[in-house]
Structure 1
Amino acid sequence: MEASPRVVPTRVEAAPPWKVWSALWIVYIVWGSTYLAIALMVETIPPLLGAGTRFMLVGLILLPVLAWRKGARVWRPTRAELLSAGFVGLMLPGANAVISVAQKTVPSGLAALLVASIPLWVILLRRATGERISWQSLGAVLVGFGGLVLLLHPEGEATMIGLLACVFAAFMWALGSFSSPRISLPRDPLVSTAWQSLLGGVAVFLAGVLTGELPDVHFDEFSGRSIGGLLYLITFGSLLAFTSYAWLLQNAPISKVSTYAYVNPVVAIALGWLVLNESITPTTLLGAGIIVASVALVIRVEAPKAEKT
Structure 2
Amino acid sequence: MNLTLPIAAGLLAVYIFWGGTYLAMKFAIETMPPFMMAGIRFMTAGAIVYAWQVYRGTPSPTVTHWKNAAIVGGLLLLGGNGGVVWAEQMVSSGIAAIIVATVPLWMALIAWLWQGGSRPNGMVMSGLLIGFMGIILLVKSSGGSDLSGTTTPWVGYAALVAASLSWAIGSIYSRIAKLPEAPLLAIAMQMLTGGFFCLVFGMITGEGGRFDVTAISLQSALALGYLIFFGSIVGFSAFIWLLKAADPTIASTYAYVNPIVAVILGWALAGEQMTLQAALAALIIVISVVMITKGNQQKGKAYAAPQAVVGKNS
Match of 2:68 among 84, 97, 101: 84
Q: Which residue of 2 aligns with 1:4?
A: none
Match of 1:66 among 47, 53, 60: 53
Which deviations, in whole Å up to 9, do the C-alpha atoms of 1:117-136 show, x marking residues without a partner?
A: 00000011012132122122
Which deviations, in whole Å up to 9, do the C-alpha atoms of 1:14-60 show, x marking residues without a partner?
A: 99711111000000011001000000001010100000010011111
Q: Which residue of 2 aligns with 1:161?
A: 155
Contact 1:93/1:197 (8 A) holds in 2: yes
Q: Which residue of 1 aligns with 2:310?
A: none
Contact 1:20/1:248 (8 A) holds in 2: yes
For the residue of structure 1 that corresponds to 2:56, the secondary structure is: helix
Alignment of 1:37-56 (within 5 A): 37-56=24-43
CA shift, 1:107, in A, is: 0.3
Q: Which residue of 1 aligns with 2:21?
A: 34
For the residue of structure 2 that corresponds to 1:70, the secondary structure is: coil
Match of 1:97 among 61, 79, 82: 82
Contact 1:15/1:251 (8 A) holds in 2: no
Q: Which residue of 2 aligns with 1:279?
A: 273
Kindly indicate whether residue 102 of structure 2 is the aligned counterpart of residue 117 of structure 1.
yes
Q: How many Å separate the matches in 2 of 1:278 and 1:287?
A: 16
CA shift, 1:93, in A, is: 1.4
Q: Which residue of 1 aligns with 2:246?
A: 252
Q: How many Å separate the matches in 1 of 2:233 and 2:133?
A: 35
Q: How many Å separate the matches in 1 of 2:35 and 2:166?
A: 16
Cα RMSD, aligned residues only? 1.5
Kindly indicate whether residue 131 of structure 2 is the aligned counterpart of residue 144 of structure 1.
yes
Kindly indicate whether residue 122 of structure 2 is the aligned counterpart of residue 128 of structure 1.
no
Q: Which residue of 1 aligns with 2:224?
A: 230
Q: How many Å separate the matches in 2 of 1:141 and 1:269?
A: 22
Q: Which residue of 2 aligns with 1:7?
A: none
Q: TM-score w.r.t. structure 1 length?
A: 0.91
Contact 1:253/1:307 (8 A) holds in 2: no
Show structure 2 runs of 5+ residues with no match: 303-314
Kindly indicate whether residue 187 of structure 2 is the aligned counterpart of residue 193 of structure 1.
yes
Alignment of 1:5-20 (within 5 A): 17-20=4-7
CA shift, 1:285, in A, is: 1.2
Kindly indicate whether residue 290 of structure 2 is the aligned counterpart of residue 306 of structure 1.
no
Q: How many Å separate the matches in 2 of 1:306 and 1:248?
A: 18
Q: Which residue of 2 aligns with 1:6?
A: none
For the residue of structure 1 that corresponds to 2:299, the secondary structure is: helix
Q: How many Å separate the matches in 2 of 1:37 and 1:304?
A: 35
CA shift, 1:274, in A, is: 0.7
Q: How many Å separate the matches in 2 of 1:270 and 1:23?
A: 20
For the residue of structure 1 that corresponds to 2:43, the secondary structure is: helix
Kindly indicate whether residue 93 of structure 2 is the aligned counterpart of residue 108 of structure 1.
yes
Aligned residues: 292
Q: How many Å separate the matches in 2 of 1:83 and 1:306?
A: 30
Which deviations, in whole Å up to 9, do the C-alpha atoms of 1:221-252 show, x marking residues without a partner?
A: 11111111111000000000110001111111
Which deviations, in whole Å up to 9, do the C-alpha atoms of 1:172-213 show, x marking residues without a partner?
A: 111111111111011110000000000010011000000000
Which deviations, in whole Å up to 9, do the C-alpha atoms of 1:246-285 show, x marking residues without a partner?
A: 1111111122111110000000000101111111210121
Contact 1:32/1:264 (8 A) holds in 2: yes
Change (3 A) 1:15 1:235: farther
Show structure 1 runs of 5+ residues with no match: 1-13
* Percent identity (aligned): 37
